[in-house]
Amino acid sequence: MSTDIQIAIVGSAGDGTIAAGDILRRAMAEMGYRVISFDLYPAEIRGFGKCIARLRVTDEQAYSLKPRSDVLVSLDDSHAIPHVSEAREWGAVIYESGSVTPLAEGAHISAHIDPGQIPYHVPIRELSEKSTGSARSRNIVVLGYIAGLFRLSIDGFLRALNSKFKGKADIAQKNEAALRAGYEEGARWFRLDDIDFGPPPAKGAGATVEMISGNAAVVRGALDAGIDNFFGYPITPATSIMERLASEMPKRGTRLVQTEDEIAAISATVGAGFAGARTATATSGPGLALMSEMLGLGIIAEVPCVVFVSQRGGPSTGLPTKTEQSDLNIAVYGGHGDAPRIVIAPTNVEGCYRCAGKAFEMAEAYQTPVILLLDLYLSNRYETVPFPAKPPFEADMNSYADTRGGNAAGFKRYALTADNVSPRTVPGQKGGMHIATGLEHNELGRPNDQPDNHAAMSRKRHEKLQLALKHPDFTHTKRFGDEGKVEVGVIAWGSTFGEALEAMILARAEGIRCAAMKVVMIAPFPTEAVAAFMADCGDVLIPEVNYQGQFAGILQAHIPRPVTRLARVPCEPMEVGDILAEIRRLAGRTTEQQAA
């Protein structure tokens, strides 16, 4: 039996909604299921705002969350009522059976459950108070109830609970009592829904599969690539990258500094890169705007460094806790003058790990800043990810010059070479002294504002980046679905590719010839590969979570062909159904044809 179950827990800040989701995904992963989860939470302080923990549990790889959940849990009816319609037909709705205060008409969730949904009214507060002496463990009672109702082993939940509250014996003990109380209640209920968890997939011999978030995967990739220095300033949703590195880097004898602001962070990052260190910083859109001038110095001085950027809603302070893909233009073009840089955008959590490590390789190999572009959805999303036994990253890809014989004529740090990548040295290297300046310069690094020189150096800085399109063991684009000519081709980047891929799979199941392409290398743009894909497509659809269709604009600047833009700013991931509906429209499928 195949397993594909999505559970959504809705509550208010302070209800432990996000903590419950964390324990649930840990338990499911512990049992061996594949998990994708993403939480929504408010920017307000504790006690205000809605929190939603959603996770999809499968026995095979899934690529996105489903538009409708199989199980909806209410920890706060005022927040959960608007989401009742998101539970599918014959899905389960679990809620508090009683209230300690009188309720206005229609304020209880039971008045809003559709006839086709299965209600489970549970004395959640009572079970929590009886088992722990407090109502604070209602979220844990609900987890136990889910385990008991769907006949899941309680052992995985207990291990996840103990891991969550490791070192807090008293709290763990009370929560275990709440979990068992909920489990016993769930186990005695007669189920009317059609939800079943099949056996988890068998684990491959020697496989290492871990549940990890996108930001945590970036950290692991940076550590496995041998990061030497990190300079950062806190900003949602990139802060946890710095927090995790702050915990891990001292153990490895490497250095992390929290700077006074983003300008100081990028300045120190460029400085460390100039000195020969593998170095990085992390920020979001507002911070990237502040970093643009120093990124220009890194580009003109050809300094390797990495900038992890996790996008949120904007502009200005915008929506710090909502996801968006609207920093693409500033990542690719942000800065004065012609300031080319490498921009890569992973599409899933495993990609966050691999792109993080490869970013350091590219920065060194092509002597330039590299921007790794995530978003809040990808940063905070959890997935079960297989990791290689040995880190797949090169420890050093620098083109260091051999200057042991000295150089009386001066070291040509910016020599014009056949591949446009110059030999470099680090401070203190004998015979490698040179000038590094933000002014336009000649091959020796000395200021030179002659037109021919500026043209040659501009060409050098741009053309060397084309080598990144053939960087070893890096997937800059990949095609999925039908081969050859198709009715509709979907091109997507970043976190939205998961939804695009799911929509393509569903379209093919309906008989539509369809294919999808993910684009990971945004700059330099992989024009040849994307143009070849588009040549096979009757219509091209580009879904992305920004208002302007920024990726579509970049694509059309390189490939002047009409495309259909599906640009949305829903403050959350794009729905698979929206992409599928547009694929159907482009393929000329009517509602009647779909019903047939």
DSSP string over 262-289:
HHHHHHHHHHHHHTT--EEEEE-HHHHH
Q: Return the DSSP state at 151.
A: T
Residues forming beta bridges with residue 35, ordered by sequence position? 57
DSSP code per residue over 537-570: EEEEEEEESSSS-HHHHHHHHHS----EEEE---
The SS3 of residue 38 is strand
In this structure, are strands 208-213 and 382-387 parallel, antiparallel, or unpaired?
A: antiparallel
Q: Are 302 and 424 contacting, i.e. CB atoms less than 8 angstroms apart? A: yes
DSSP code per residue over 208-252: EEEEEEHHHHHHHHHHHTT--EEEE---TTTHHHHHHHHHHGGGG
According to the model, what pLDDT value does residue 101 have? 74
The SS3 of residue 502 is helix
List Cβ neighbours of 479 (8 Å cut-off, separation of 6 or more).
515, 516, 517, 533
List Cβ neighbours of 235 (8 Å cut-off, separation of 6 or more).
262, 283, 284, 286, 287
Question: Tokens in use for 68?
Answer: 């409708």
The SS3 of residue 442 is coil
Distance CA 245, CA 251 (A): 10
Tokens 């095609």 locate to 479
Q: What Rg, from alpha-carbon coordinates, does the chain have?
A: 26
CA 251, 252, 254, 257 dihedral sign is negative
According to the model, what pLDDT value does residue 464 have? 98
According to the model, what pLDDT value does residue 591 have? 57
Distance CA 167, CA 145 (A): 25
Question: Tokens in use for 199?
Answer: 């056996």
Calculate helix-pair angle for 496-509, 576-586, nearest 10 degrees: 50
- Buried b / exposed e across 335-345, counting CB within 10 Å, b at 16+? beeebbbbbbb
According to the model, what pLDDT value does residue 389 have? 87
CA 465, 467, 470, 471 dihedral sign is negative
pLDDT tens track, the chain, 596 positions: 589 999 999 999 889 999 999 999 999 999 999 999 999 888 765 557 899 999 999 998 889 999 899 999 999 999 999 999 999 999 999 999 987 777 788 889 999 999 999 999 999 999 999 999 999 999 999 999 999 999 999 999 999 999 898 888 889 999 999 999 999 999 999 999 999 999 988 766 555 788 999 999 999 999 999 999 999 999 999 999 999 999 999 999 999 999 999 999 999 999 999 999 999 999 999 999 999 999 999 999 999 999 999 999 999 999 999 999 999 999 999 999 999 999 999 999 999 999 999 999 999 999 999 999 999 999 999 999 989 989 999 999 999 998 877 766 789 999 999 999 999 999 999 899 999 999 999 999 999 999 999 999 999 999 999 999 999 999 999 999 999 999 999 999 999 999 999 999 999 999 999 999 999 999 999 999 999 999 999 999 999 999 999 999 999 999 999 999 999 999 999 999 999 999 999 999 865 555 55
**Strand arrangement, sheet containing 486-493:** 477-481, 514-519, 486-493, 537-544, 564-567
According to the model, what pLDDT value does residue 40 have? 87
- Long-range pairs of 163-169 with CB within 8 A, sequence gap ≥ 24: 163/26, 164/19, 164/22, 164/23, 164/26
Question: Tokens in use for 220?
Answer: 């692991």
The SS3 of residue 357 is helix
**Short-list 377, 281, 384, CA closest to 31:** 384
The SS3 of residue 58 is strand
Ordered domains of the chain (ranges, CATH): 4-187 (3.40.920.10), 212-387 (3.40.50.970), 399-457 (no CATH), 477-595 (3.40.50.920)
Residues forming beta bridges with residue 50, ordered by sequence position? 12
Q: What is the pTM of this model?
A: 0.92
Q: How far is CA 279 from the centre of its chain?
A: 21
